[in-house]
Amino acid sequence: MDVKKHLNEPLNVSCSAMAGSNLLSNLHYFYSFTFGVFTFLFVFKYIPHHFHYKEQFQLFIFTADYFRETCSTPGGLCNYIGRFFSQFFLHSWMSALTVSFFLAAIQLIMLRVCLKFRSRGDNSSSTGRRFLLLMSGRIADWELYVSFLPSIGYLYFLCDENTQFGGVVALLFSLAYALFLMGGDRGWTGCLLLTLPILYFSIGGIVYLSLLLALLYGFLTKEGKTRRWFCSFLVVGILFAAACPFIAKEMLKQYPLSRYFWGVDYVHFVAFPPFRFICLWLLTLTVVLVGVCFCRIVGRGRLPVAVGGSLFIVMLIYVLVVKTGYVNNVSKEELMAYDHYCRTKNWMAIIQMADKKHPKSPMMVACLNLALYKMGELPNRMFDYFQNGLEGLLPSFRRDFMIATVACEPYYYLGFTNTAQRLAMEGMEALPDGQKSVRSIMRLAETNLIGGRYELASKYLRLLEKTLFYRKWACETREYLYNDAKISAHPEWGMIRKFSTNEDFLFSEKEKDMMLGILFRQHPDNRMAYEYLMACTLLKKDVRLFPIYFGLNKNFVYQSIPKSYQEALLYNWGLSGRSFDSIPYHIDEKIRKSVENYAKIYTSMKEPEKYLEKDFSKSFLFYFHFRQLGKSTVEVSYQY
């Protein structure tokens, strides 16, 4: 009886653990819900534009051809589902809800996988029994806390704009498949292994994680013949899965072999293997082994384990996600915010961001200058902010999808529709994962509509009509096809069509002022062409040509000459040695005195920049002497 009682002790401990798990089943939902709320608030508040960025560089259409094309490669089903949910990233609250739901689901399934090991502890083999005895704890066991690690790791990865959402779906499917394998008997486990090629083509190489988790479970919890056949099935499955990439390479030769081992497009740059995800998979695998062992090491009481585990999760989220993932990508989030507000025509939001923190990147400055023009403040407030030359006004084309997409915006509004169309197409074709950009498709539809190429515009609209969030816009836009009068009456397209260049000429990015001059000469009532020509001249520091270009204005009336224009006119007049009193322009007295004070300090101080920066950093003169292009060659031939 003593021997029997002794043999039953592990069973009693396991039953006690199961009783604790009943309370845990009520407690862990609170933890999962709290994690979901944190994820929602973090994504919604701190990195919403990372997900706007992901959404605009894909085109998910509801067609059978798109489904077959996406799912015809290993991991294609996860890519398809990931792209489907990426559509919802158009709206910040929907992206936050989607991410929080999936990461919370991964945590819950990971918890079930951990608890699955404990639930079979009473029937385990002697080898597994000795290990699983470590896993029997109290109410707030470490299985709960370590189950958050894969989700926290993926939240950290999602702080990188290049992480694709299909990888989240693949991890969720892999853990679910592992859970199914753990609960199967001989018959349907074998059936699942027979469907392994289908699973490999659905979720890609992450299927190895499922098989390894199930193999570990079988080794620890089963005994005798049951363990032998279960582990044998899984070993055969692992070998079969290892052969799947080579079989897929023979069947589908368009990709390198390395792509078939990964399957899922975990990142935008699919040419580079995402080795960092191996760390996440290894973490997921070792969570079952290492994490649950701490339930006995930390202590037997409920409170110490609960407090220690909670602090561990909070500190991990703070250090990994907030202090590392977010802080390292905050500058990218700012750039994506400028780009998003430019795309959605929220010009005031761009200016408000710049008022809080001056942008430095040329792409951000280009969005800011466009917003200033749209709000009628470009000539007066342009030098209130940091300017970095012509690249901050009209960015040049680079073989980069983001730069081309941002550069397209000012050219489109100016009337350079062919240039805008080229940049939109180049930006879309430069996408490293081979997808199409819904934003570029919209711009191509607009430029072809403005240019009167209605068949091409119709082709792009047909694609957008098969989307979820752009169908309404496409259907409304289709009414403009072959209707010149309606396009001319449109407040945006009509104006751009009116101001589009009507003569052929070679576009040169090295002579942007000349291109603007040609456009303005063709359309003297194009206010944007005029103000961008003036801004271009100021940014090039060409103060000798500025009065000539300034005199071209015959159609626009300002309440007073804009501030930057007055400063440039005064500076040019003063360089020739003439008195400010004789200048033939109406100059504000406050600006006149400011320029005079600036000149006195500049000419009398050995290192004037530090004396001028406090009071004159928001002037054209400070930019002229101390920003970007260095000292202008014009100044060599003129003196105050």
Q: What percent of the chain has pLDDT over 70?
A: 84
Name every residue whose Cβ is closer than 8 Å to that of residue 195 and which is 6 or more positions away in sequence: none
Q: What percent of the chain has pLDDT over 90?
A: 44
pLDDT at position 636 is: 34
pLDDT confidence of 197, banded at 50, 70, 90? confident
pLDDT confidence of 635, banded at 50, 70, 90? very low
pLDDT at position 98 is: 96
pLDDT confidence of 2, banded at 50, 70, 90? very low
Segment 509-537, tens digit of pLDDT = 778 888 899 999 999 999 999 999 999 99
Segment 609-627, tens digit of pLDDT = 888 888 898 999 999 988 7
| Residue range 421-440: mean pLDDT, rounded | 92
Return the CATH number of the domain spanning residue range 331-499: 1.25.40
Angle at 105 between CA 128 and CA 16, to 5 degrees: 40
Angle at 446 between CA 473 and CA 450, to 5 degrees: 130
| Residue range 370-398: mean pLDDT, rounded | 91
Residue with tokens 């582990």: 231
| pTM > 0.95: yes or no | no
Indicate the residue type of 28: H
Above 80 in pLDDT, residue 129?
A: no
Above 60 in pLDDT, residue 327?
A: yes
Segment 536-581, tens digit of pLDDT = 999 999 888 899 999 888 888 888 899 999 999 998 888 877 777 7
pLDDT at position 423 is: 92
Above 70 in pLDDT, residue 393?
A: yes
- DSSP secondary structure, 281-335, as one string: HHHHHHHHHHGGGHHHHH-SSHHHHHHHHHHHHHHHIIIIIIIIIIGGGHHHHHH
pLDDT at position 490 is: 94
| List of long-range contacts for 181-184, beta carbons under 8 Å, 24+ apart | 181/210, 181/211, 181/213, 181/214, 181/217, 181/234, 182/113, 182/116, 182/213, 182/214, 182/217, 182/218, 183/116
Segment 201-246, tens digit of pLDDT = 888 888 888 888 887 777 777 776 777 777 777 777 788 888 888 8
pLDDT at position 481 is: 95
Above 90 in pLDDT, residue 413?
A: yes
Burial (CB count <10 Å: 0-12, 13-18, 19+), residue 400: middle
Report the candidate in 261, 265, 263 with the shortest Cα–Cα distance to residue 246. 261
pLDDT confidence of 501, banded at 50, 70, 90? confident
| List of long-range contacts for 253-256, beta carbons under 8 Å, 24+ apart | 255/73
Name every residue whose Cβ is closer than 8 Å to that of residue 271 and which is 6 or more positions away in sequence: 432
Residue 172 near residue 106 (C-beta atoms within 8 A) = yes
Above 90 in pLDDT, residue 473?
A: yes
Domain ranges across the chain: 2-166+255-326, 331-499, 558-636
Write out the H or E segment, with its range, that includes residue 100: helix 92-119
User: Taking all residues of the chain, what is their mean pLDDT, rounded to a whole number?
Assistant: 82
